[in-house]
C-alpha cells in the first residue's frame, strides 16, 4: 500500500481532479487498509477517483508469493471506501483478471462504481472490454466510457 504525504492535499479549488488509491494484498493488515482510506477521506477534498488495485503477483518480484488477500477482505475495502468517500468514483483496477465475475459483482454491490478498461494497466494484463461490458450487462448496469477508456456504470 502506498502511504504518501498529502496526495492531492493542495488541490483545494484548483480544478485539478485527483486520482489516488492503493494496492491491497501486499501483506498489509486490515488496519493498514483502513488507514489508507482514512488518509484519503481526510483530505480537504475527497479524490475524484479512488482506484483500489489487487496486487498482481509477478514471478521474480519481491512480493511474489505473498499470501493472497481473501476476496471478502477486498470487497470490504471497497465498501469502506464507498462509505468514507460517497462522492468519489471507487474504481476496480488492477487484479481483476484474477477475480471471478461473482467477486467483481459483489464489489459493485458493495460500492464500486467504475472500472479501468484497456488491455493493460501499466504492466499487467486487464480484462477485455468485451468481458467488462458483458459483466456490466449481467449486473443490469449501462456503461459510459470516457476518452481514457474508463468504464463507469451509468445506472
State the pLDDT at residue 40. Answer: 94
Sign of CA pseudo-dihedral 100, 146, 9, 122:
positive
Helices (H), 7-100: 30-41, 71-84
**Mean pLDDT, residues 43-51:** 92
Q: What is residue 127's predicted lDDT score, i.e. its pLDDT?
A: 82
Inter-axis angle of helices 71-84 and 101-110, nearest 10: 20
Residue 125 corresponds to which cell in the numbers above? 494484463
Residue 75, φ and ψ in degrees, nearest 5: -60, -40
pLDDT, residue 9, reads 46
Q: Positive or negative CA dihedral for 147, 150, 151, 155?
A: negative
pTM: 0.80
CATH of 22-153, one of 2.40.37.20, 3.90.79.10, 3.20.20.70, 3.40.50.970: 3.20.20.70
100 near 72, Cβ under 8 Å? no
> For strand 114-116 and strand 120-121, is the pairing parallel, antiparallel, or unpaired?
unpaired
The mean per-residue pLDDT over the stretch 90-112 comes to 92
Amino acid at each position: 500500500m502506498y502511504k504518501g504525504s498529502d496526495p492531492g492535499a493542495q488541490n483545494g479549488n484548483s480544478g485539478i481532479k485527483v486520482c489516488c488509491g492503493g494496492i491491497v494484498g501486499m501483506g498489509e493488515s486490515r488496519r493498514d487498509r483502513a488507514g489508507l482510506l482514512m488518509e484519503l477521506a481526510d483530505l480537504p477534498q475527497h479524490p475524484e477517483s479512488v482506484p483500489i488495485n489487487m496486487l498482481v503477483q509477478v514471478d521474480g518480484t519481491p512480493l511474489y508469493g505473498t499470501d493472497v488477500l481473501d476476496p471478502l477482505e477486498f470487497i470490504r475495502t471497497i465498501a469502506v471506501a464507498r462509505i468514507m468517500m460517497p462522492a468519489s468514483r471507487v474504481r476496480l483496477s488492477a487484479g481483476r483478471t484474477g477475480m471471478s465475475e461473482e467477486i467483481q459483482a459483489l464489489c459493485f454491490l458493495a460500492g464500486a462504481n467504475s472500472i479501468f478498461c484497456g488491455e493493460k494497466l501499466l504492466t499487467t494484463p486487464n480484462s477485455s472490454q468485451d468481458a467488462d461490458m458483458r459483466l456490466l450487462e449481467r449486473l443490469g448496469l449501462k456503461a459510459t466510457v470516457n476518452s481514457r477508456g474508463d468504464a463507469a456504470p451509468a445506472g
